[in-house]
């Protein structure tokens, strides 16, 4: 799918396909950085062990360290925050909130957007598995499970909440924000996984839009 413009519920969204070849979450980070401005105050919500930088930006990192790292003490450079509960930051504390492959691990998308838009003034940028892709739809038709949320993924990655774009749009509208841009991140499907997911189509294996990166703005 090439770049284009799509209107829905009175909102204008820019959708672009981004072919990327890196493995893991690294596929989405160049896209996330491109959606942020220079010299911003940023909250990296659910940061995990990944560290990233952007010109002139000051990044505050938070995660549920006791759960994520299976340790009793918090890490020095990470605020210990359970994103399923109240966030310990004042209103308008940051220019932007980033959540890379995080919200599918949370219990409540709506709570996430209430808190993220409360502490951010300019944007909220998320990435999440694209459960609306052709591969995910094919997988659901054949197995009854969505891409990224099969039994193995739920056990290994703790993916518990599939995220559809209509949900992001509705959650943003609920707090008076809107989707500003959507990027589709494509990458090949490994042969061993394509067999397990019963994917035989060569084009689908090679160019599948497996991640969404979404920027929400006021």
CATH code, 129 = 3.40.50.150
Predicted pLDDT at 192? 55
pTM for this predicted structure:
0.80
Which band of pLDDT confidence, cut at 50, 70 and 90, is reported for residue 65? confident
Question: pLDDT of 119-140, one tens digit each?
Answer: 999 999 999 988 988 778 877 8
Question: pLDDT of 99-112, one tens digit each?
Answer: 999 999 999 999 99
Does residue 173 surpass a pLDDT of 70?
yes
Higher pLDDT, 27 or 161: 161
Does residue 71 surpass a pLDDT of 60?
no
Predicted pLDDT at 145? 85
The 10 Å CB-count burial string (b at 16+, else e) for 51-81 is: ebebeebebbbbbbbeebbeeeebeeebbbb
Domain that includes residue 107, residue range? 4-217
Percentage of the chain with pLDDT > 90?
46
Give residues with Cβ within 8 angstroms of 149, minimum separation 6: 104, 129, 131, 159, 160, 162
Predicted pLDDT at 202? 44
What's the number of domains the chain is made of? 1
């Amino acid at each position: 799918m090439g770049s284009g413009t799509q209107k829905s519920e009175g909102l204008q969204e820019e959708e672009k396909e981004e072919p990327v070849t890196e493995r893991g979450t690294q596929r989405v980070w160049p896209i996330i950085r491109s959606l942020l401005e220079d010299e911003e105050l940023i909250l990296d919500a659910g940061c995990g062990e990944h560290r990233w930088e952007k010109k002139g930006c000051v990044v505050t990192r938070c995660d549920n360290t006791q759960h994520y790292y299976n340790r009793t003490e918090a890490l020095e450079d990470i605020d210990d925050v359970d994103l399923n509960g109240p966030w310990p930051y004042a209103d308008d504390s940051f220019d932007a909130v980033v959540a890379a492959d995080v919200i599918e691990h949370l219990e409540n998308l709506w709570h996430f957007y209430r808190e993220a838009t409360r502490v951010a003034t300019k944007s909220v940028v998320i990435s999440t598995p694209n459960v609306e892709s052709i591969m995910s739809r094919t997988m659901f038709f054949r197995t009854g499970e969505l891409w990224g949320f099969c039994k193995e993924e739920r056990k290994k990655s703790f993916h518990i909440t599939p995220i559809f774009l209509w949900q992001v749009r509705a959650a943003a509208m609920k707090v008076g924000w809107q989707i500003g841009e959507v990027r589709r991140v494509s990458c090949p499907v490994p042969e061993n996984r394509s067999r397990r997911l019963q994917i035989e189509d060569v084009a689908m294996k090679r160019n599948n839009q497996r991640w969404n990166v979404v920027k929400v703005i006021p």
